[in-house]
Amino acid sequence: MVKLGRKRGKTRYDKREKDIDPDEIFIDSSNLPNFDTYQFEGRIEKSISQRTLFFLGGVFLIIFLIFIGKVWSLQVTQGNFYFTKSENNRLRNSLIFAKRGIIYDRNNIELAWNVENTDEKAFGLRKYIPLDGFAHLLGYVKYPSKDKYGFYYSDVFDGKDGVEKHYNVELSGKNGKRIVEVDALGEVQSENIIQSPKDGENLKLSIDSGLQAELYSEIKELAGRVGFTGGAAVFMNVETGEILAMTSYPEYNSQVLTDGQDKTKISKYFTDKSTPSLNRVVDGLYTPGSTVKPYIAYAALREKVIDPLQNILSTGSISLPNPYDPDHPTVFKDWKAHGYVDMRRALAVSSDVYFYEVGGGFQDQKGLGILTIDKYMSMFGFSSQVPFSSALFSGPAGIIPTPEWKAENFDGEEWRVGNTYHTSIGQYGFQISPLHLVRAVSALANGGKLVTPQIISGAQGEKVDLKLDPADLKVVREGMRDGVTKDYGVAKTLNGASYTIAAKTGTAELGQYKQFVNSWISGFFPYENPKYAFVVIMEKGPAANTTGGVYIMRQTLDWLLANRPEYLR
């Protein structure tokens, strides 16, 4: 029985309870099969939990609902909007830029024109005459501008100064439109012009570019050599008002500002103390000095203050009693002792004493007085803005010192006769522009008509008849002519055998110690039959220097004789 039981137990052990080898117990601890555990080999797979499946299903459901909602919005709610937009994307509007008008001088020389734009085919690039002296006349432009997506938010040329600004509408023309059909890849399929561009008008200016360049060159050279801070010149037809030359030194560069690339230079133009952005002909106000004496002379004759042949003695100064200090009279100096001078000679030698006396009175000599001076200076246009056919000439009004002006600017101070003296010779608070002065000189030349300046060739400026007395005007003109032809004349440098000039110089003292001067010359030619008036100013040079506006005018007359003799005849 026992033996049999053992046999039966042994049989069950063989089948079900095989002995376990110790190596089998520790097989996993040494990874004998060399499983790549980083690739998840040898790991027991586990089924995904129901929680995870529910979470993933929820995420996909939300995404599906958002997708369905967007499709609904695009196709139903905003379907019409996006349909129209897609049609517009397929048919695109394209600008056709009008060509900007060309600017010519009176001799049909191009001053501003257009060249092909190799980088941007839409519009041409603006180019300017490569000569100095034209910046303030021509100005500059700002090109049409695109945003970062390539669309034009400004589709016009924007004139920024000079003729480019004040005739911008005429020069710009009108842009056209083109319809361009493109496919889904943006490839052009067809083009159709629906509105043709209208090119801008060409302008022919009254400017003589040769004369303009010559004046600027002479002013620039003298300023650099002597030490003037600036200068300006203007020539005008005394009958029509046409401007033949109008230049201001220093200046900016029209090409640099139009191109807009040199940021350093552009910034300097507007911060430089020499003010290259200032058009000195139109916007500059300066103490005129003795250039106002012809107008004081006319006023004195017209008001019967003095006979033109009556002499006044200039010993070099006159003195007025000082009520506050009788031992120290107030002295008003002449620039030199001239002896006895009548009106013609006083104009020719520019005697200060003579004009002190006819302006403010002295001893037995009656004077005009400041109110009468103000009346006549205003009549010649010095106290108002220059009327203009173009806003190009819309500079500031001039300043004539008066008792009201002094009280306003000097804390109520009383006007004194010495103030009248200084006003009579163009000093004190007197301020005018070269454009003011060239109009006044033109009125002396053309018989008494203030003409409106013009910049377009062939234009006729409006005239204001001042009703000047011919006999009195003749005396003033003869005095200006003597200033050129007589040995004692202050403008004798302008005397020439081939032309006839009448002129009046001016030296306005500046600075606390009168260490600087503005040097002026104004006049007209030909003397017998005046056609052109001129003004030149050299700004703030050393007082000891004797070379100024007269020198510039003499160099210019020589240039005219060689290159434009018809102007002098």
Range scoring the smallest mean pLDDT among 57-61, 359-363, 517-521 = 57-61
Q: How far is CA 61 from CA 51, 68, 70, in A?
A: 15, 11, 14
- Count helices and strands in the chain by DSSP H and E runs: 19, 22
242 burial level (CB within 10 Å; 0-12, 13-18, 19+) = buried
Does the pLDDT of residue 8 top 90, yes or no? no
Q: What is the dihedral of CA 335, 339, 342, 346, to 10 degrees?
A: -20
DSSP letter, residue 206: S
Domains of the chain: 93-204 (3.90.1310.10), 209-568 (3.40.710.10)
- HSE, CB side, 13 Å, CA atoms: give it for residue 482: 18
Residue among 143, 144, 115 at smallest CA distance from 128 = 115
Q: What is the pLDDT of residue 3?
A: 45
What are the tens digits of pLDDT across the range 353-367?
A: 999 999 999 999 999
Residue owning tokens 């496919």: 183
Q: What is the pLDDT of residue 184?
A: 56
Alpha-carbon distance 544 to 555, whole Å? 21
- The beta strand positions in 65-171, using DSSP E, are 91-96, 103-104, 110-115, 125-128, 141-142, 145-146, 152-154, 158-159
Q: Tokens at residue 169, please?
A: 């509408």
What are the tens digits of pLDDT across the range 226-249?
A: 999 999 999 999 999 999 999 999
Does the pLDDT of residue 284 top 70, yes or no? yes
Residue among 122, 182, 187 at smallest CA distance from 152 = 122
Alpha-carbon distance 452 to 542, whole Å? 34
Q: What is the pLDDT of residue 393?
A: 83
Q: Tokens at residue 513, please?
A: 């110690």
Averaged pLDDT, 198-226: 97
Query: 3-class SS at 146?
Result: strand
- The beta strand positions in 311-397, using DSSP E, are 312-314, 317-320, 330-333, 339-341
Sign of the alpha-carbon torsion through 62, 63, 66, 72:
negative
Q: Tokens at residue 41, please?
A: 């080999």
What are the tens digits of pLDDT across the range 446-484?
A: 999 999 999 999 999 999 999 999 999 999 999 999 999
Q: State which of 11-25, 170-184, 273-287 shows the largest mean pLDDT.
A: 273-287
Its pTM stands at: 0.82
**At 223, phi and psi to the nearest 5?**
-60, -45
Residue among 125, 120, 162, 155 at smallest CA distance from 140 = 162
